[in-house]
Amino acid sequence: MAVNVAHASDLGHGDHGGHDDDVIYNETRDMRLMGFVLFLVSDVVLFSSYIFAYIYLRNSIPSWPPPGLDGHPLPRLDTAFAAVNSVVLFGSGVTMHYALENWKHANKGRFNLFMALTILLGVGFLGGQAYEYAHAQIGGWSGNTFGASFFTLTGMHGGHVAVGVGFLAVLWYQTSRGVYDLNRYFGLTAGTLYWHFVDVIWVVLFFLFYLW
């Protein structure tokens, strides 16, 4: 019994238990990847429903943004600031890509560097979004249709970024505990896919609220 427990513990930390264990891992990895992709697809459906609702509202009103409660036109959002904040988020997608690539090539020092940068950039993006929320003069959630749409969609995205930051922090901790090795690192792959997902969603939101 003690031998079996020790063997299971070793496998949990990324060590190999023979050819059969490798086959089982590869099979379950494919299933987990399918499940994770379906999760991302469900998130795409969620965002798409809100995005199409926003497009419908915008096209149904003669002037956009609509006037505020006082009847005066709303100011445009700070596109320059949002562009800088977008570069921060997109930069985190680049660093996450290099973190995964360095893990695959057994360069743990550079992996740790790029993981730290990814998390810091993610937190920086959230800080920039909080700053914008505090200074945007668009009436808040209940002020008008534009404000409600902006805070709902960008708030949903910000929530996903916050979850992603926590996800990456857990993955980083797991790598320090030996959970993954050069052949078994599905968690890192899933984290990278998720982080690229929030990047792509932000491209759409940036166009809708700042450029259109």
pLDDT reported for residue 19: 61
Give me the percent of the chain exceeding a pLDDT of 90.
Answer: 68
Distance of alpha carbon 85 from alpha carbon 54, whole angstroms: 22
pLDDT reported for residue 70: 63
pLDDT reported for residue 197: 97
Distance of alpha carbon 155 from the chain centroid: 13
pLDDT reported for residue 140: 73
Structure confidence by residue, pLDDT tens digits, 160-186: 999 999 999 999 999 999 999 888 899
- Residue range of the domain that includes 177: 2-211
pLDDT reported for residue 154: 97
Instruction: Provide the b/e sequence for 21-42 (b: ≥16 CB within 10 Å).
Output: eeeebeeeeeeeeeebeeeeee
pLDDT reported for residue 193: 97
Domain of 26: which CATH number? 1.20.120.80
Distance of alpha carbon 79 from alpha carbon 85, whole angstroms: 10
Contact 194, 167 (CB under 8 A): yes
Distance of alpha carbon 160 from alpha carbon 168, whole angstroms: 12
pLDDT reported for residue 71: 65
Nearest 10 degrees: CA dihedral of 53, 54, 55, 56? 50
pLDDT reported for residue 1: 38
Q: How many structural domains compose the chain?
A: 1
pLDDT reported for residue 26: 73
pLDDT reported for residue 5: 33
Distance of alpha carbon 168 from alpha carbon 174, whole angstroms: 10
pTM score, whole prediction = 0.85
Low-confidence ranges of the chain (pLDDT < 50): 1-17
